[in-house]
Amino acid sequence: MTANPGFEPVFCTIIPPHVLDTLAQSDDATLAGPARRTLERDSIERTRRRLTTVIGAPAVSLPKEAAQDKAHRTIYDAKHKTELPGRKVRGEGERPGKDATVNRAYAGLGATFELYLKTYRRNSIDGSGLPMNATVHYGEKYGNAFWNGEQMVFGDGDGEIFLDFTIPVDVIGHELTHGVVQYTANLTYFGQPGALNESFADVFGSLIKQYTLGQTAADADWLIGAGLLAPRVTGKALRSMKAPGTAYDDDVLGKDPQPADMDHYVRTGRDNGGVHINSGIPNHAFYLLAEALGGNAWERAGQIWYAVLTGGQLAQDASFADFAKLTVAAARDKYGEGEEHGAVLKAWSQVGVPTN
C-alpha cells in the first residue's frame, strides 16, 4: 500500500479525552470545572480544525532562514484567552524574557528543530523550513496542549492535576511531531493508524528529550510527560514506553490503561478508537528495539522508524502489522540482515504483532 497524498490535518492533544472525562465527573469542583472547560475548548478547536481543512488553511510564506536550515520560531501569549495566536512575545534570535513558560516553549521548539535537522536532515516540520509558532497561557486553567494543524498551543494546567504544559520537552516534541506526521504519512486519526500517529509522536518526543539531555537508551526514563503531573497525583507521567500501563495509578485519574502487547489490546469507541491507549503497543516495540541496540536511540532505532514514516509506503489506514513489516524492510535496507534486522523482528514478536 502507498500513502494517501490527501492533506487531512487533525486536531491532536497530549491529554486523552477519556482522562479529562474522568476529571470532569469528579465531585471536587476544583478538578471538574477546569476539566469541563478544557473539554469544551478542545471540542471547539476540533470543529475549527475541520472547518479549516474544508476551507483551506492560509498560505504560509517561508522566511529567508528556511533556505539556510535555520529555525524560525515565534512565541505568542494568549493571556488566558482563547484567540489565536495572541500577542507576539518572542521572535527568533531574541533574548529570553522573564516569563519561564515563554522561554521553555522557545527552547522546546528549538530542540525539536535541532533533532530533526541534525539527525534526520529534516528542515522543520514540513521539511521545507516551515515557521514554528506556539501560543502559551492559553485559556483559564486549560489542561492540555495541542497541535491544530498550523501551530502549537499550551495551557497552564489547573495546578491541581496538571502543571504548565511547557515543562516537559517531550510534550512539546510530541505535539510538533504530529505536524511531521501530517506532512508525511498523514495517518488517519482512528483505531490502529491513529494509535500509530500517537506512537510516532511519543517516540520522537522521547527522542527529542533524550537528545537534549544527552541520554543513551539505557539512561532514559522512557516516560512521556514526566514533570507534568501535580504533586497530589499518584503517578510519574502520562505514559511509559518502557512499561505501558504503569505511568499512574491515582484515586482521581484512575489507572494508566495502556497495554504493552496485543494480548491486552483495548477495543473501544472512546478516544477515537483508543488512539492514546493502544499506542502503548508500538511504543513498547520501539523501546524494546532501542534497548536491544543500545547507544543513542535516535540513531539506529530512530532512523528505522523515521525511514518508514517518511518513505511513502505507509498507508493512511496502516495497521500495526503493516507498520511492523515496513520497519523490518527498512532495517534490512539500511543495515542488512544483521543485528538491527534481528532486533526489529524480536521487538515486534515480543509485543505480539506479526511481521510476515
Active site residues: 175, 276
Q: 3-class DSSP state for residue 78?
A: coil
Q: Which of 296, 295, 302, 298 is nearest to 344 (CA)?
A: 302
Task: Report the alpha-carbon angle 87-89-95, nearest 5.
Answer: 170
Phi, psi of 11 (to 5 degrees): -95, 115
Q: 3-class DSSP state for residue 255?
A: strand
Q: Which of 184, 125, 168, 221 is nearest to 305 (CA)?
A: 184
Using left for φ > 0, alpha for ψ between -120 and 50, and beta otherwise, residue 139 falls in left
Instruction: Give the whole-angstrom CA distance, residue 330 versus residue 347.
Output: 14
The secondary structure of 206-244 as a DSSP string is: HHHHHHHHT--TTT---EESTTTB-TTSSBS-SEESSST
Quick check: 141 and 130 in contact, CB under 8 A?
no
Q: Which of 178, 190, 334 is nearest to 268 (CA)?
A: 190
Continuous H helices in 184-319: 191-213, 271-274, 280-293, 300-310
Q: How many CB atoms lie within 10 A of CB 61?
A: 7
Q: Which three cell numbers stand for residue 200?
A: 510516532
Q: Which three cell numbers stand for residue 277?
A: 491507549
Instruction: Give the whole-angstrom CA distance, residue 112 versus residue 184.
Output: 17
- CB-based burial label for 262 (10 Å; 0-12, 13-18, 19+): middle
| Bridge-based pairing state of the strands 249-250 and 152-154 | unpaired
Q: Which residues contact 54 (CB under 8 A, 6 or more apart)?
A: none
